[in-house]
Homo-oligomer: A and B are copies of this chain.
Amino acid sequence: MLHIAIMGFGTVGAGVAEVVRMNAASIAEKTGEEVNVKYILDVRDFPDSPYADKMIKDFAILESDPEVEVVVESIGGAKVALEFTRRALQAGKHVVTSNKELVATHGKELLSIAKARGVNYLFEASVGGGIPVLRPLFEDLSANQIEEIVGILNGTTNYILTRMVKGGVSFADALKEAQSKGYAEADPTADVEGIDAGRKICILSNLAWGKEVLPQSISMEGISAIHLQDVDIAAKAGYRIKLLGRALRLPDGRQTAYVAPHLVPENCPIAVVDDVFNGIIIRGNAVGDVMFYGRGAGDLPTASAVMSDVLDAAAHRQNRRDIGWNESAEITPAGEIPMKWYLRGSFSSEDAKTLCGEVEVLSSGAVITGALTEAQTKDAAEKLGAAAMLRVL
């Protein structure tokens, strides 16, 4: 019997309890071990919950119970969650989390405590919700040198952009729709401004190259400044506008990561990832491009990933998963790496060519440049009087 404790009985915590309940028999059959949710820690009262008898308010109870082997942290944030995760690891318990903020900002410390105590700290659910992506990255692609990771990492903004592209709805109206459907929070800043995607691309980068990239060290740009006009021009020219998190290691060894909206060519598999779905491409030097696609959020999908970590931790009680990042990465600002850009204004394509060199003309007053740095592009955009400037994948 594997006894686990769940900390935080919100969407994810309740989803984990539900997955254990509904799939108890099949989990026991596959792993040869039954899972028991022994405690659920939450400050709130849930008198009518079927789990009422498991609810506790004092962390020390689960911390001091030697029977609890795995702790699920679904509290969120980096305050209480940080303290309880530290203490649970110190107490020799495996910890599993969906908390991308905590992993992105304090993962290095928590992984080093886990290593010292010989336990697992696993966080598959922190990126891509239910989509298997972190374990495939560090396990299935371990014989590759990872060259690039690029993906749609945030379902809320992808829903909004899909409504703008397919429904011709403005950003403001699409955001309201997303809020009314429960896809966006009342304060949508973390999603809309790219902060959530930024935490996730940092975690992916950390695992891919073993060096810490902190969210505050990378540039994050959201979608609130995207105009329908650019969505239309892009669509007619065979591109979709998507908010991408992207991490690169260049052949010269430079490393970068950033979040920004991009024009994505229609024939790229992530161009057709719509609505609240996520899609993440990983490029390895042997495997080429592989993509992982599915629901990037939601109670049961996220719980599926959390539970895979719980079972993985149990399967690796003795020989822990040696993942982690020790040193800090040296990050080249994304703007310094030459990339293609989309410019739109009332300029002539001849003027654009004069200033940017070779360009692809999308329509009158809309071009895609060759590979330029952000400073070069800004300079050209200013001289051309461009009204919009976006990256191109």
Contact = CB atoms under 8 A, between A and B. Distances in A.
Interface of A: 15, 19, 22-23, 26-27, 29-32, 124, 130-132, 135-136, 138-145, 210, 269, 272-273, 284-295, 298, 300-301, 303-305, 307-308, 310-312, 315-316, 318-319, 322
Contact of A143 (B19, B285, B291): B19
Given A124-B140, A318-B318, A23 B135 contact: no
Contacts of A269: 272-273, 293
Number of this chain's copies in the complex: 2
A132 B143 contact: no
Given A269-B293, A292-B290, A293-B290, A285 B23 contact: yes
A135 B141 CA distance: 11
B140 A290 contact: no
B292 A304 contact: no
Contacts of A318: 318-319
B285 A294 contact: no
A308 to B, nearest CB: 5
Taking each of A30, A132, A143, A289, which has the highest tally of chain B beta carbons within 10 Å of its own beta carbon?
Answer: A143
Contacts of A32: 322
B135 A139 contact: yes
Contact of A286 (B23, B135, B284): B23
Given A272-B269, A319-B318, A27 B142 contact: yes
A289 B294 contact: yes
B301 A140 contact: no
A305 to B, nearest CB: 7
A37 B130 CA distance: 37
Given A29-B210, A143-B308, A292-B292, 5 more contacts: A23-B145, A30-B210, A130-B286, A130-B287, A139-B312
Contacts of A143: 19, 23, 27, 303-304, 307-308, 310-311
Contacts of A130: 286-288, 290
Nearest to A315: B319
A284 B304 contact: yes
A167 to B, nearest CB: 15
A112 B315 CA distance: 20
Nearest to A30: B142
B142 A136 contact: no
A142 B288 contact: no
A26 B293 contact: no
A15 B286 CA distance: 9
A176 to B, nearest CB: 24
Nearest to A145: B26
**Nearest 5 CB-CB pairs, A to B?**
A143-B307, A132-B140, A290-B294, A130-B287, A287-B304
A310 B286 CA distance: 15
A375 B104 CA distance: 56
